[in-house]
Amino acid sequence: MTTQTTSVDTMAAATSIHDLESRLVGELLRPGDETYDDVRQVQIRTFDARPAIIVRAAYPGDVVEAVRFARAHHWPLAVRSGGHSLGGFSAVDGTITIDLSLMKKVTVDPQRGTARVQAGANSGDIAGPAEAYGFALSTGDTSSVGVGGLTTGGGIGWMARKYGLAIDNLRAVEMVTAEGRLIRASATQHADLFWAVRGGGGNFGIITEFEFQLAPAGSIYGGAIVLPATREVIRGYLDYTPVAPEGLTTIAFMMAAPPAPFIPEELVGQLVVLVGVCFVGDPEEGERALAPLRALAEPLAEAVGAMPYPAMFALTEEASKPHRVSLRSMFSDELPDDAIDAMISSATNATSPMSMVQLRGLGGALAKVPADATAFAHRERKYLVAVIGLWVDETDDGVAHRRWTQELWEELKQYADGVYVNFLEQEGDARIREAYPAGTYDRLVDVKRRYDPENVFRFNQNIKPAA
């Protein structure tokens, strides 16, 4: 009897899936299909999920069809943009996974200085077309970061101190709701939903297109300065970068010097502080803005100059390749010498040559937006700190790298004051709540209750709907 029921159910499911496939402009992949194993792979290879089916959407109507199908058949639904989800939500076992990677169209309006960007595009896809007209958008640090997950979490990027977060430049979105409706949300349409998707993650629907206001950035003054990994250098970096001229955004990578063309061969493998710098403005002003960093210590190596903004992604090219990662992160206002010493000691004994401690000085335009204007609410924080265990060997079980990450995190977490939702793994509800002040979280719960009361969109840093 059980076998018969299973057989009937399987036949019914197969018939329904075939019906869904016939309504798609894009493609539907099942296990065993020729390209299924390639397509199911995500950027973060720590995860090896096998969705029941993958819908490779080609236009918003495909997303509508997939959502309605999932609702009708009570099938769990996952969503993938760039595949960088640290929590492993880009593809989930047994789900219908909606893959947006075919929806990569970027349309720039040079007169209005805006761009319409489909949700499968990544940071590199936006940078090129925008730069052709003398514009840019502050997106991810790495070219392969998908605009969908990046933006819904906030979007801290290479021009955050000059132009704010990606969400600070967002004018409107088109999205598919849990009911399978395609709607537009903006400051004047579904304003509560527009507030929530700017920092609240993928909890409220599937965004198919973003409309951004671009910023003038025909070229930037940027590159990297390599400094000794000493307490004095790191203290100087932390003291200066949150109050530096707003045109300057930096990321400090405390790590083994990589084999880059501008790094002397004898320096490769030694612990250094590699400071990625991006200054938007006149190069002479950029030189003055960088002078306090160069004064921290004699640079060990340097490659800084005027360049088109997309060239900044060369600095993080290795991170755009598939990799495995263990990450813990926090916002902070206080990093005393004990914390700096712990970072140096841990980085010196990293279990992978690609592992690092990442420091960012915040402030600038990011901090000028009122905390309640968007769901991203930790704007007043001075620093973003991330401990990143990173490795590429697929035969490595990662145990040592995860231990390295966790041990340093245990020493640093006492200085935490909030967390960036895009830098969370699956760390539990308490950590999700750390991403939002109490009032912000309560407001997100209310929006979730109204737009997704059944928690259809639950494979994310999940905000559960109110009872």
What's the whole-model pTM score?
A: 0.94
Give the pairing of strands 206-213 and 215-216: unpaired
- 106-216 adopts what CATH topology? 3.30.465
Sequence ranges of the domains in the chain? 2-99, 106-216, 220-423
pLDDT tens profile 31-59: 999 999 999 999 889 999 999 999 999 99
CA angle 154, 340, 267 (to 5 degrees): 95
User: Residue 140: what pLDDT?
Assistant: 85
Q: Backbone phi, then psi, for 303, in 5-degree steps?
A: -145, 90
In the chain (467 residues long), the average pLDDT of successive 10-residue segments reads 37 79 97 96 92 97 97 95 92 95 97 97 95 93 93 96 98 98 98 98 98 92 97 98 98 97 96 98 96 98 96 87 94 98 98 97 97 96 98 94 98 98 97 96 97 97 88
What residues contact residue 206 under an 8 Å CB cut-off, 6+ apart?
Answer: 63, 67, 79, 98, 100, 119, 175, 176, 457
User: Residue 257: what pLDDT?
Assistant: 97
For 220-423, CATH number out of 2.60.120.200, 3.40.462.20, 3.90.1150.10, 3.40.50.12780 equals 3.40.462.20
User: Residue 232: what pLDDT?
Assistant: 98
User: Residue 15: what pLDDT?
Assistant: 75
What is the three-class DSSP state of 427?
coil
What residues contact residue 66 under an 8 Å CB cut-off, 6+ apart?
Answer: 20, 24, 55, 57, 77, 96, 98
User: Residue 254: what pLDDT?
Assistant: 98
CATH match of 2-99 with 2.40.10.10 = no
Q: Look up residue 423 and give its DSSP letter.
A: G
* Distance in angstroms (rounded) separating the CA atoms of residues 40 and 447: 31
User: Residue 12: what pLDDT?
Assistant: 54
User: Residue 319: what pLDDT?
Assistant: 79
* Distance in angstroms (rounded) separating the CA atoms of residues 120 and 137: 16
Joined tokens for residue 181: 């409706």
User: Residue 213: what pLDDT?
Assistant: 98
